[in-house]
Amino acid sequence: QVQLVESGGGLVQAGGSLRLSCAAFGGTFSTYTMGWFRQAPGKEREFVAAISWIGDSTGYADSVKGRFTVARDNAKNTLYLQMNSLKPEDTAVYYCAAGGGPPSSGKYDEYGAWGQGTQVTVSS
């Protein structure tokens, strides 16, 4: 079973940028669709972005299209999420996940391994 560890969260002003990373240990990272989800206080966990195992296909939630970019480096077993033009409503705990569905589906139950999350706070 793959182990996932997120990093890169923090406090940023609205309009700023952050890059999240997710390091994978064990398993076969390069064979998984990888995704990012987030959960704000009092809300359900929601899909943010995903990328296919080879990186040739991506999917995004409408709320982040044009602002966030998902990428992966299979040689480094690492997933990334570049977040630009951040808004206060992007504040949440961000989780990376390993799964097997198509990147565009965004279905929570397609992902079998999850990291512990990293907090992103955007101030207005």
Of the candidate ranges 31-40, 49-58, 81-90, 99-108, the one whose mean pLDDT is the lowest: 99-108
pLDDT at 80 over 90: yes
Q: Please give the pLDDT value at position 101.
A: 84
Cβ 83 vs Cβ 39: under 8 Å: no
pLDDT at 65 over 90: yes
pLDDT at 100 over 80: no
Q: Please give the pLDDT value at position 104.
A: 87
Q: Please give the pLDDT value at position 116.
A: 97
Q: Please give the pLDDT value at position 73.
A: 97
